[in-house]
A and B are shown apart, each in its own frame.
Chain A
Amino acid sequence: MESYLPILVFCVIAAGFLVVSLLAARLLRHRGSGRTSREPYECGNEAESFAHDHRFSIRYYLIAVLFVIFDVETIFLFPWAVMFDKLALFGFIEMVVFLFILIVGYVYVWNRGALNWA
Chain B
Amino acid sequence: MLEVGTTHYLVLSFLLFAIGVVGILARRNMITVLMSIELVLNSVNINFIAFSYQLGDLTGQIFAIFTIAVAAGEAAVGLGILLALYRLRETTQLDGATEMSG
Give the CA-CA distance A7 to B44 in the complex, in Å: 38
B-contact 0/1 string along A44-75, CB 8 Å cutoff: 00000000000000100110010011011101
B69 contacts chain A at the CB level, 8 A cutoff: yes
Give the CA-CA distance A76 to B68 in the complex, in Å: 10
**Which of B3-11, B22-30, B73-81, B94-102 is the contact stretch?**
B73-81
B residues 59-76 in Cβ contact with A at 8 Å = 65, 68-69, 71-73, 75-76
Given contacts A75-B65, A76-B65, A79-B65, contact A69 B73 (CB under 8 A): yes
Give the CA-CA distance A79 to B83 in the complex, in Å: 34
Q: How many positions in chain A have a CB within 8 Å of any CB in the partner chain?
A: 12
Contact in complex: A65, B69 (CB < 8 Å):
no
Give the CA-CA distance A68 to B80 in the complex, in Å: 13
Chain A min CB distance to B46 (Å): 17
Contact in complex: B83, A58 (CB < 8 Å):
yes
Contact in complex: A72, B83 (CB < 8 Å):
no
Q: Which residue of B lies closest to A62 (CB)?
A: B83
Contact in complex: A65, B79 (CB < 8 Å):
yes
Give the CA-CA distance A71 to B83 in the complex, in Å: 21
Chain A min CB distance to B85 (Å): 12
Give the CA-CA distance A117 to B13 in the complex, in Å: 41
List residues of A whose CB falls within 8 A of some B CB.
58, 61-62, 65, 68-69, 71-73, 75-76, 79
List residues of B whose CB falls within 8 A of some A CB.
65, 68-69, 71-73, 75-76, 79-80, 83, 86-87
